[in-house]
Chains A and B, each alone.
Chain A
Amino acid sequence: MFGFEPNEEQKMLVDSVQRYALNDLRAAAHDADEAGELPPALVKKGWELGVLQASIPEAYGGFGDRSAVTGVLAAEELGYGDLTAGLAVMAPAAYAIPILVAGTEEQKKSLLPPVVEGDWKPYVSAFVEPNLDFSAADMRTTAVRKNGSYVLNGVKTLVPHAANAAGLLVYAALDGKTQAFVVPPKSAGLKIGDREAWCGLNALPTHKLTLEGVTVPADARLGGDAGHDPQPLIAATQVAAAALAIGLAKAAYEYSLAYAKDRTVFGVPIAQKQSLAFMLAEMATDIEAIRLLVWEAAWLLDEGKDAAHAAQMAILGASDTAMMVTDRAVQLLGGHGYIREHPVERWMRNGRGVPNFPGMAMV
């Protein structure tokens, strides 16, 4: 049967993440963006909500089972608070969930407990490459088998906290097929570039990663010798980014709606003008429709069904929605929208980046 309402457990989680998103993330976002860093206590508090920990079974150090649907509900709230901080909080998920989904029993037993036990630590993944036609299914970074090991070569970008990473998951093409490898951060041949600067995401430190003949043992490949199907991982990271984007769009929509009711022109609130009210109607409708696309893709993942197409639709749809909604939010505020005092310009900068964010988070 169809259902469009989170269950009680999910509602409780959404409530607690939303409180954190509004009281902590939203409150800190402006200053963090200006300062170029997130207060460590902020990320720590988000980590302690236990979204990832609740996705990892007890046998591997967590206290629950993974649900991509629950994950996108939580991710939307994080994006609603502040997408940049949301990516920081979720960064370890982009390392741990692939291990949970595609790892061997040994990999799960040895690699997962250090991630989920204790405080937030920068376990991160290196996914995106600095090419305009980057494709998750056709990467330029390569892995080749050599004497029972794998040798990795290539360049990655948008790797969060790479400079002090506790663990790295690197995606590379092995015989043309995308595979994930666990790479120790101190490996020989691994070069961490300077901190990158972007149009948005100012508070999140990301780096380029250059791999020159980085050699890892055979058991560094997720799934061991047999490897793994990369598609469910690509889909899970696409829906995570899509959910963050929906949250960001919702934030911009709500903010500009409230502003439009408050700001007057010719003696009435500007929201009483159809030209602006109709913009808001379209923003609300788009968010609602694309959110359901994200939910459906997540649900397909949970059901173990092919989610590739649905996840691609979700990330493309959510990218478009984030851009359309944040652009209109700036427009609704007029000149004030362009001033950094209001958050809408930041949401617009962060929203434009969404197509590049898969790989940085996962549900």
Chain B
Amino acid sequence: MISFEIPDKVRNAVTLMTMVGENMMRPVARYFDDHEHEVPWDYINMMHDANKQMGGGGFVPSTDKPKKAEGEAPKKEGPRVAYQRLAYSAEALSWGDAALYLCSPVGLLGAAAVAATGTPEQKQRFLARFAGDKPVLDGMALTEPHAGSAMPADVRTTAVRDGDSGVLNGEKIFVTGAHKALIDTQGFLVIWATIDASAGRAGVRPFVVEAGTPGCTVTKLEHKLGIRASDTGSVVLQDCRIPFDNILGSPEVEKKTTEGFKGAMATFDASRPMVAASAMGIARATLETLKELLAQNGVTLRTGIPRSRMTNIEREVADMEIQLRSTWLLILKSVWMMDEKKPNNLEASMGKMRAGDVVVRITQKAVELLGPLGYSREHLIEKWFRDAKVNDLYEGTGQINRLIIARRILGYGRRELA
């Protein structure tokens, strides 16, 4: 069936997250941009309470069906909308403020990796903590100083088995929320490491390193162009010992298969639409504010006229609307596919690639069209322009996503198209 009717569950989430965005995020967005690395506790605590009230368990939908007692009639299920709701929530919160959204103690990238690669027991253990007494944050560590897009195939962080433990050594950089996950809260990071550096992608495994684990240090916080409320840290692992059952997925850790690598890719299939959705939140906020500022300054935007009759600004805005809506629908399709358990690798990369392009173009244009108003820190437009760019970089640059899409549509592997 082809339908564009927003489900009630999703609509309610949007209403709630929009209220949060309006009341808890917009008013402090500028402050936390000016005070890089200050922890937005009011927002974090409020989101933690809200998440608990909504049943906890974090934002990441569990992929496991609830266990049924024997003889019990199968529960009637409505359509699955968990990932659709998640994307709409990410969009609405990022409409509030994308940097603060990244400080949400609800299970973001680390939780996505757990959901994509963990055993049922591990999902239960790690995802349940988002509903605990105190807020916790999570993160995922993939990039290393020598490589970004080549991850995780080119991973150098090592994991060695020692009795009932795994011992990690290496350095990770650009870890979103590292400080909040490991220092400010009792959270965790999912660290991608190799059990055999010579095995390439067959050696890759995801490991959960919890806050307070000896040998794991946050060594540096980056100073960034945008998303300043969200810390970006370097993490050094020095003989960092973790329990064996913190290795996500197959317990046969020493058998060299590409399961771990595939897990990383599965994580991306789930996480890229969320990054794309977040980008769309920034783009929508920018477009709405652009229209408001134009109206306040006496610029009227007419609708229902052909391009040949439009002013330059009308045409720019009309093009922005087309880009925004079509990209949102593409992202929506990619998360609908997740909910329908259809492979969405191609669509996830398409949505992410296009969202990165679109949010960058819309925010850059908005600053331009508003002249000194757009460039001024009096308004949030210039901040959104700075926040936007990261969406074309993290969770796969626009170029790496083009490569993925190209390989998919051409039926090529990495040998044919490097």
Contacts and interface: CB of A to CB of B under 8 A. Distances in A.
B3 A3 contact: yes
A6 B353 contact: no
Contacts of A243: none
A264 interface: no
A289 B354 contact: yes
B3 A134 contact: no
Contacts of B54: none
Q: Chain A: interface secondary structure?
A: helix
B interface, by DSSP: helix, strand, loop or mixed? helix
B336 A133 contact: no
A274 B398 CA distance: 13
A174 interface: no
A284 B304 CA distance: 29
Interface residues of A, number: 50
Contacts, number: 139
Nearest to A319: B307
A331 interface: no
Interface in B301-334: 303-309, 318-319, 321-322, 325-327, 329-330, 332-333
A281 interface: yes
Which of A288, A290, A308 has most chain B Cβ within 10 Å?
A: A288
Contacts of A300: 4
A2 B3 contact: yes
A61 interface: no
Contacts of B84: 2
Contacts of B308: 132-134
Contacts of B37: none
B347 interface: yes
Given A135-B306, A308-B304, A313-B325, A284 B350 contact: yes
B412 interface: yes
Interface in B266-305: 303-305
B2 A3 contact: yes
A285 interface: yes
A357 B332 CA distance: 30
Interface in A234-292: 257, 260-261, 269, 271-272, 274, 277-278, 280-282, 284-286, 288-290, 292
A1 B7 contact: yes
B322 A284 contact: no
Contact of A1 (B79, B305, B307, B353): B79
A137 interface: yes
Given A313-B325, A317-B326, A280 B409 contact: yes
A285 B306 contact: no
A342 B321 CA distance: 35
Contact of B309 (A133, A290, A310): A133
B305 A293 contact: no
A34 interface: no
B2 A6 contact: yes
Nearest to B410: A271
Interface residues of B, number: 44
Interface stretch (B125-133, B240-248, B400-408): B400-408
A290 B2 CA distance: 15
Contacts of A313: 318, 321-322, 325-326
A316 B322 contact: yes
Given A4-B336, A69-B2, A289-B327, A137 B305 contact: yes
A4 B350 CA distance: 16
A2 B4 contact: yes
Interface in A157-186: none
A257 B325 CA distance: 27
B4 A296 contact: yes
B416 interface: yes
Given A288-B350, A289-B329, 8 more contacts: A1-B3, A4-B337, A277-B417, A280-B409, A285-B353, A292-B326, A313-B326, A316-B319
13 contacts: A2-B3, A2-B6, A5-B2, A10-B2, A272-B417, A277-B403, A281-B402, A281-B409, A288-B350, A289-B330, A299-B4, A303-B5, A355-B307
Interface of A: 1-7, 10, 69, 132-138, 257, 260-261, 269, 271-272, 274, 277-278, 280-282, 284-286, 288-290, 292-293, 295-296, 299-300, 303, 308-310, 312-313, 316-317, 320, 355
